[in-house]
Structure 1
Amino acid sequence: MTQQYQHILVPVDGSKEAELAFKKAVAVAKRNGADTELRLLHVVDTRAFQNISSFDSSMVEQVTTTAKKTLDQYVDYAKKQGVANVSYTIEYGAPKTIIAREVPKEMHADLIMIGATGLNAVERILIGSVTEFVTRTAICDVLVVRTDLDNQPIPVPKKR
């Protein structure tokens, strides 16, 4: 018997790696049938705004508006590919726990498909990789997307 995932969560942050995870998740959802739920998740990391002295709520609104535009495009793409049960959620807070525990529990996720990294090397050193945290602590299976749509390694940008 083969495993068929019915509730797939895809965290997206605007990075190329997250977009590849999304496109691969669309293919998995199509293969697993019409009942498969595909949920996209964008987490606005509110901690990023805490240290800004001139913080104003319009900054969060701008980030949310941009995320909604991207997520609407992703939903449209998935539907055109034949995935009927696709939706998105925008959450606010600490991405690690929201992605690994909170949303998967709420939606009964059985698979998280996540890009290998959406951060640069300095950010990974300072705050740690969300992907690494999710793979260690998630309450369901995690598939880390490390290849492009042709299953070729994603080129690493060269240092200048």
Structure 2
Amino acid sequence: MINDLLVARDFSTSSDRALHAAFAWARPIGSTVHLLAIQVTNDNPFEPAEQRSGPLERLREQLKDRTHSDMAQSGYDPGSVSVKHDVQRGEAAGPAIVRYAERAEIDLIMMGTTGRRGVRRAMLGSVAEEVVRTAPCPVCTVRATDEGKPPTVPERVVIPVDFSAPSRPALAYGLHLAQQVNADATIVHAIEEPSAPLIYGIEVGEKTKSSGSEALKDRVHRALNEWVEQATADLGNPPSCDVQVHTSAPAAAIREVASSPSDVVVMATEGRTGMERMVLGSVAESVLRQAVGPVITARSFAEVL
């Protein structure tokens, strides 16, 4: 499922964490890691073009040297992972990363996010957000933290299901990933009281306060188990699955379940709210900006299964 994994490198702390995560994931999966550096040509429009651009081959060699140094410092054997290096020029980093992913038929883009607090737009980073919105494949964002420990292979894959059409292929993708990395899977749904009559089969006129009842939780729990059974029907050795039903807001429930840096969240960027927030739904946006561990999102997982 993840044969080619792309890491966009700008040698920041967040980029380094994405690199470490890529190597950790690539070894058990057997993926080839593509390391891409983008030479942005319009950083300073007042400089002559020849001063803003150097030979790409020299930059590629510098990227290789830096990668080997980073791997050695982190204890990785450079020969244990298949690595390709490339350098591209572009007027902006985001579109250049997306073009490379399309051309190289990348299966997963792994990017670091800024992890800064206080400034809402800076918590994800403009380049990462642009790639998440426009990439042709799933994108895994890895937050920069003060923790010195590098990211590891996921121990648990958390898969939110809101019973929308996009969440079904996201569930299948997450279960396949859990199988590949030998991780457990947790499927989580948050009951939203105002939405209960529309989603859970409650007749109009029933008291919406029943959305928190044990009967409704049982009904949702059974529905989730049916989805899991259908998604694992073709898996020879399906992962261990835990199904949870919460009564809090969706983003809060997801963050509560995925509370460890070794938890990875897999979710579609579009849910029941459709195109309300352009391509990036409000729940996905909140999880991307605040999740502790990696988050894998895609506009449609159905296109990559």
Per the normalisation by structure 2, the TM-score is: 0.40
Aligned to 2:133: 136
Residue 61 (str. 1) matches residue 54 (str. 2): yes
Aligned residues: 141
Match of 1:72 among 65, 82, 104: 65
Q: Distance in 1 between matches of 2:115 and 2:11?
A: 8
Ranked by relative contact order (alpha carbons within 8 Å, sequence separation 6 or more), the top structure is 1
1:1-160 paired onto structure 2 within 5 Å: 4-33=1-30, 36-49=31-44, 51-52=45-46, 54-55=47-48, 57-61=50-54, 65=58, 68-75=61-68, 77=71, 79-80=77-78, 82-83=80-81, 85-93=82-90, 94-100=92-98, 102-117=99-114, 129-146=126-143, 149=150, 151=261
Q: Distance in 1 between matches of 2:48 and 2:104?
A: 32
Equivalent pair of 1:117/1:131 in contact (CA under 8 Å)? no
Q: Distance in 2 between matches of 1:26 and 1:15?
A: 17
Identity %: 28
3-state SS of 2:139 partner: strand
Runs of at least 5 residues in structure 2 that lack an aligned partner in the other structure: 152-260, 263-291, 294-305
Change (3 A) 1:14 1:66: farther
Q: Distance in 2 between matches of 1:16 and 1:114?
A: 11
Worse overlay, 109-118 or 143-152: 143-152
The structure having more radius of gyration, on CA atoms, is: 2
Change (3 A) 1:43 1:142: same
Per the TM alignment, residue 118 of structure 1 is displaced from its structure 2 partner at its CA by 9.5
Q: Which amino acid in 2 is paired with 1:25?
A: A
Per the TM alignment, residue 57 of structure 1 is displaced from its structure 2 partner at its CA by 1.8
Cα deviations by residue, 1:73-110 (Å, 9 ceiling, x for unpaired): 31562653610x2011100012111112x111111101
Per the normalisation by structure 1, the TM-score is: 0.73
Equivalent pair of 1:112/1:141 in contact (CA under 8 Å)? yes
RMSD of aligned alpha carbons: 3.2
